Structure 1
């Protein structure tokens, strides 16, 4: 049997999740964050607004935050190509949307994108992450990732490093004076040879979470 190594790490964050385009239609709008959906407090992240299922970037776009979909974050300001956000603080946490103008018709603006949820790392004490029974997993075996903290977190997020996938949201359970969550993965159905990170949050959608 082949062996896979599951690498685990513990950090904390306000998270930035990339959004997915709407289904159907070639001009649906989406918003993305690079280089990563996870941004350390004091760090920077670049936001871009896309159309045609993410294949093209809007040259000009505006940004909206939380439920204020009718009021841009910076009234009267239009971003060109991208927006560099930072240094990021807890106040930047929230859900973001964008609306862009088409190159072939600058006066025509797209519909709002799906929301982009922003969380920032480095705010609270970090949780711990264990691979049970161990990080060496044979093909066909199941490994349980256990994320725990002596702080009571209502929500945990499990993130596979080196991917742009949204972190997996898990509901925390009380354990002793803190909280924890277990997530099992079968190596026959998943590629386990990844580095995983665990985050804890007190609330949604503004996820101010554990520090690195």
Structure 2
């Protein structure tokens, strides 16, 4: 047999070698997929690190502090915070910067004894572990009270008010305060600020209209005086003035207000529940009516259809 006619040997690949080749290809694909997945997660993590949240700022026990009292200013950010900074604003510029003591996702600045120099506007921000600064927090206005003599607060025409009517509260003082502020006890957000007006006997006053007065609230007020050049330095608070609300059952004192209002709130809850139940019942009846109407129309159509006729004989 000639050399050209000899059969050619084909190289056979063992099953184990084929399996190893497939495993290598699968490993290469897996590594490639893991690489791109890691790049994607890394880019997402970087974007999330840059999108830091705005910090919250508040004071404990409050932002209106008596002279000489201890107060804490808190700034809260996120967990991966490296450092917090507290800034005090003077004349619309940040003049004082203070690093805060960190406690997890928030930090604290302590003022052992509140004085006039601690008053003013504060804001804070923080630096993350990714070296990204947050935006500034909202402004916290810290006020001190007790720097001047207290003003006097009275009601005109009387502290006894009929439910639904208005009353005028007069805050006045022998000192020439530029402005007076009225605060309702138990409601932090309720405050009214008015320009001072000259009164008889060298007194200064401000007249605050209040109302309509209702039975379901406690109407206890105090007022303060301050000067325009130092808007965060207030006087001592006036003595509390409590309005007595008269209704159909006579004058109600504060101990009677809460039970009366709680009963009214319960009645209101019952009314709301009854309205919801009536609406649900009406909806159920409407659905049942629609179903019955559809059933009636379907039955009518069946009756109107002509009967089927068969032609030819039916073999047995």
TM norm structure 2: 0.50
**Could you say if the C-alpha distance between residues 189 and 87 of structure 1 is closer, same or farther in structure 2, counting changes exceeding 3 Å?**
same
Question: Does residue 161 of structure 2 align to residue 132 of structure 1?
Answer: no
1:157-176 map, 5 Å:
157-165=181-189, 167-176=191-200
**Could you say if the C-alpha distance between residues 123 and 190 of structure 1 is closer, same or farther in structure 2, counting changes exceeding 3 Å?**
farther
Q: RMSD across aligned C-alpha pairs, in angstroms?
A: 3.1
Q: How far, CA to CA, are the matches of 2:175 and 2:217 in structure 1?
A: 28
Match of residue 222 from structure 2: 197
Structure 1 residue corresponding to 2:232, chosen from 204, 207, 211: 207
More strand as a share of residues: 1
Structure 2 residue corresponding to 1:123, chosen from 135, 139, 147: 147
Relative contact order (C-alpha < 8 Å, sep 6+): which is higher? 1
Match of residue 123 from structure 2: 97
Kept in 2: contact 1:44–1:86 (CA 8 A): yes
Bigger mean CA deviation after superposition, 89-98 or 199-208: 199-208
**Could you say if the C-alpha distance between residues 171 and 29 of structure 1 is closer, same or farther in structure 2, counting changes exceeding 3 Å?**
farther
Match of residue 58 from structure 2: 32
Structure 2 residue corresponding to 1:183, chosen from 208, 214, 221: 208
- Aligned-pair distance for 1:149? 0.6
Q: How far, CA to CA, are the matches of 2:52 and 2:216 in structure 1?
A: 31
Kept in 1: contact 2:73–2:110 (CA 8 A): yes
Q: How far, CA to CA, are the matches of 1:137 and 1:107 in structure 2?
A: 60
TM norm structure 1: 0.71
**Could you say if the C-alpha distance between residues 71 and 153 of structure 1 is closer, same or farther in structure 2, counting changes exceeding 3 Å?**
closer
Q: How far, CA to CA, are the matches of 2:233 and 2:188 in structure 1?
A: 20
- Unaligned 5+ runs, structure 2: 1-50, 238-316
Question: Does residue 89 of structure 2 align to residue 66 of structure 1?
Answer: yes
Kept in 2: contact 1:94–1:205 (CA 8 A): no
Bigger mean CA deviation after superposition, 162-171 or 114-123: 162-171
Larger Rg: 2
Number of residue pairs aligned between Structure 1 and Structure 2: 180
Q: How far, CA to CA, are the matches of 2:187 and 2:172 in structure 1?
A: 23
- Unaligned 5+ runs, structure 1: 1-24
- Aligned-pair distance for 1:130? 1.1
